[in-house]
Structure 1
Amino acid sequence: MSYTRLIQIEFNHCDPAGIVFYPRYFEMTNSVVENFFNDVVGRSFASMHRGAQNGVPTVSLAAEFAAPSRLGDKVLFSLVIEKLGRSSVALKIEGHMAEELRLRVALTLVWIDGMKSAAWPDAMRQRLTEYMEEAA
């Protein structure tokens, strides 16, 4: 099982050639991560960032762009947890249109508390662990 989110490619995502301008993919993958934390982990980005001084900044990011996406395409993004550490989580996000791979992103996030790396809070770690086990 993976967390999925369908994103339609809009005019604002495209460059003059009519394909997704690659930095827009990073915005889309961040949206997938943000919604995953809200829907699965039980912590919205709003709750983490508003006064709590918590968050999950990206510390590593690698992307492979396999095929172009065009205006009107509907790309299904899927997220899986590859590794859960003391304060980090390694994620893989893929975007597909039908059977065609459009992009693959590997990223690592780190839980911060008071602007410093910290161990995952117990409830968050439990949800991340349960999600990983369900996906296995």
Structure 2
Amino acid sequence: MTSFTYRRSFVVPWGDCDPAGIVFNPKFFTYFDANTWLLFEAATGVKVHDINERFGIIGIALVDAGANFMKPVKYGDDIEIVSRVAEFRRSSFVVEHKILLGGDLRNEGTETRVWAIKHPDDPERIKTSAIPDEVIKAFG
């Protein structure tokens, strides 16, 4: 379990909502994805667009995702997304996300991602690689 937490607040735009003004559930996965990349930027100090080059990877590939939609989030709500790495494994990690409205938990989700590099025998494929110690240490 890591101690580093990333928080981001924003007002829900109309384009993320259905005609009733409620956020489409798939949009939360977009919010989670953005927060994961920003979490890594905040922890490591490496800009999102430089992470792949800096660490010699092709990305932090998403291999599993889930969410629990408990209460609606609506157009104009000023929400906060709180994210942290719950677990680092050798080549994968689990990120936990919480969506809050005024401190009230509305939704939560998890992502499992892998540290992905080009496959040495076939550049069209990817393979996992060990997450560098310096990355894990950056999350305290």
| Structure-1-length-normalised TM-score | 0.85
Please identify which structure carries the higher strand content. 2
The structure having more radius of gyration, on CA atoms, is: 2
Secondary structure of the residue aligned to 2:34 is helix
Does the Cα contact within 8 Å between 2:79 and 2:99 map onto a contact in 1?
yes
Does the Cα contact within 8 Å between 2:57 and 2:115 map onto a contact in 1?
no
Q: Are 2:132 and 1:116 equivalent residues in the alignment?
A: no
Equivalent residue pairs, number: 129
CA 1:116–1:43 in 2, change beyond 3 Å: closer, same or farther?
Answer: farther
| C-alpha RMSD of the superposition | 1.9
* Structure 2, unaligned runs of 5 or more: 119-125
- The one of 91, 95, 100 aligned to 2:95: 91
Please identify which structure carries the higher helix content. 1
* Structure 1, unaligned runs of 5 or more: 131-136
What CA deviation, in whole Å up to 9, does each residue of 1:19-73 have, x standing for no partner?
00111111111111111111112344422456x5521011111100111111110
CA 1:117–1:43 in 2, change beyond 3 Å: closer, same or farther?
Answer: farther
| Structure-2-length-normalised TM-score | 0.83
- The one of 81, 84, 104 aligned to 2:85: 81
CA distance in 2 between counterparts of 1:99 and 1:122 reads 34
Q: Which 4+ runs in 1 deviate beyond 4 A?
A: none
CA 1:76–1:91 in 2, change beyond 3 Å: closer, same or farther?
Answer: same
CA 1:43–1:116 in 2, change beyond 3 Å: closer, same or farther?
Answer: farther
Q: Are 2:138 and 1:127 equivalent residues in the alignment?
A: yes
